[in-house]
Amino acid sequence: MEQYEPDRLTPPQAAAMRRSLRNGRAAMTRRSLLRASAGGALTLGGLGALSACGIPAAGKTEGGTSAEDHSAKEKTVSFSNWTEYMDVDEAGKHHPTLDTFTERTGIKVKYTEDINDNNEFFGKIKPQLAAGQETGRDLVVLTDWLAARLIRLGWVQKLDPSHLPHAYANLSGQFRSPDWDPGRAYSYPWQGISTVIAYNKKALDGVEVKSVSDLLDNPRLKGRVGFLTEMRDSIGMTLLDMGKDPGKFTDDDYAAAIARLQKGVDSGQIRRFTGNDYTSDITSGDFAACIAWAGDVVQLKADSPDIDFLIPDSGYLTSSDNMLIPNKARHKTNAERLIDYYYEPRPAAELAAYINYVCPVDGVKDELAKIDEDAANNPLIIPDKAMQAKSHAFRSLSAKEETAYEAQFAKLTGA
């Protein structure tokens, strides 16, 4: 039985949180890789309320809790998202796709960029959700592992498929059935986040890089290789290189991946573990090659002809940020209409053209080409079938596994 122990944080969880806030995807802006995000103050109200065994649901373990839906009478929807994760006009004052949604439906969107970090935001909404109260939000965007936790706790509502015809029809196959939400009963992706290998052609100086093994084993790259402080990305890419599936690995597989990376640390092959500050290392040539996030690489390639990326034959990691409707949301139907709107090709294309992450919407390429042909032909934004086939997701972890794995990774990185 899971136990609830307020304000208690295991050392591995604390280290993981500090790492995420300082260096991980939490430190990334969603549009500009060159500007650090605000990042929030770390509080024990976030993951700190989790013991090694987690939090019990507020009277439910699945299915969520609805409230009276006021959508018909109250033409509004409250949408919380990450910073720099929405299209804006040239003046930076309006969000064109949201404006179009309102013009079409009459539903006004209260759009708030109040998510700077998954754990920090969890701390904001946890007290209300745990008490069975509304959060004041109808729609939130959370990274897959936290989305999985809220679903497991019964803190988000099951979606009504009849309100999501475009989402159901147009969701890309690679995002259709994560192990934490099979069939997407509770969530739909906002954007995908791919983990690839980035390299600096000039810094490589003729060294051929095709795999994670090349990063770890080629002596000509010693001290010029970077891995990420995000455990799932670095371990997941290493597992793939070892012929293991990140979606099905065992404790022994994880330990072997840690040992593989530890050898790289001990030998000096790995220069350091970073968050998105690797962008300055790869641009300057301090890193000849590194594990990187595709959204950054799109921007880096646009700014520097020396920067490029590769997808190893073994595959790559894909995670997602996901739209969910919290328990007791007042405007569930309006929120579902907004989710569905972003699965229409035109709004999806406008969003993808601006933020440059992996678009989870099939059939968007032609619309995107009308806006930005280069983006439409960029496999980091619109993966082709061959690239989709190489995509892998890191499996869900139990609370016990998360504590153990983070402890091992923290020791590896010195966090």
Contact partners, residue 323, CB within 8 Å, separation at least 6: 139, 140, 141, 187, 188, 189, 190, 339, 342
Q: How far is CA 23 from CA 13, 32, 130, 145, 227, in A?
A: 15, 15, 29, 18, 12
Residue 17 is predicted with a pLDDT of 46
Residue 68 is predicted with a pLDDT of 87
Q: How far is CA 310 from CA 211, 271, 298, 340, 380, in A?
A: 8, 20, 12, 33, 10
* DSSP states of 271-291: EEEESTTHHHHHHHTS-SEEE
Alpha carbon 72 to its chain centroid, in Å, reads 33
State the Cα–Cα distance between residues 415 and 409, nearest whole angstrom: 8
Token pair, residue 160, equals 């009504």
Strand segments, DSSP code E, in 10-148 are 76-82, 108-115, 139-143
| Helices and strands per DSSP (H, E), number in the chain | 17, 10
- With a cut of 90, say whether residue 58 has pLDDT above it: no
pTM of the model: 0.79
Per-residue pLDDT of 354-407, as tens digits, reads 988 999 999 999 999 999 999 999 999 999 888 989 999 999 998 899 889 999
Axis crossing angle, helix 118-130 with helix 144-153, rounded to the nearest 10:
10
Token pair, residue 124, equals 């904001």
Per-residue pLDDT of 3-53, as tens digits, reads 333 334 444 444 444 444 444 444 444 433 332 222 232 333 333 333 333
Token pair, residue 284, equals 């300057």
Per-residue pLDDT of 102-138, as tens digits, reads 999 999 999 999 998 888 899 999 999 999 999 999 9
Per-residue pLDDT of 273-311, as tens digits, reads 998 789 999 999 999 999 999 888 988 988 899 999 999
- With a cut of 70, say whether residue 266 has pLDDT above it: yes
State the Cα–Cα distance between residues 165 and 187, nearest whole angstrom: 14
State the Cα–Cα distance between residues 118 and 39, nearest whole angstrom: 10
Q: Which DSSP helix (H) or strand (E) runs through 225?
A: strand 225-228
State the Cα–Cα distance between residues 358 and 350, nearest whole angstrom: 13
Across all residues in the chain, what is the average pLDDT?
86
Looking only at the bridges linking them, the beta strands covering 270-274 and 225-228 are parallel
Token pair, residue 233, equals 């990305």
> Cβ(308)–Cβ(210) under 8 Å?
no
Residue 65 is predicted with a pLDDT of 66
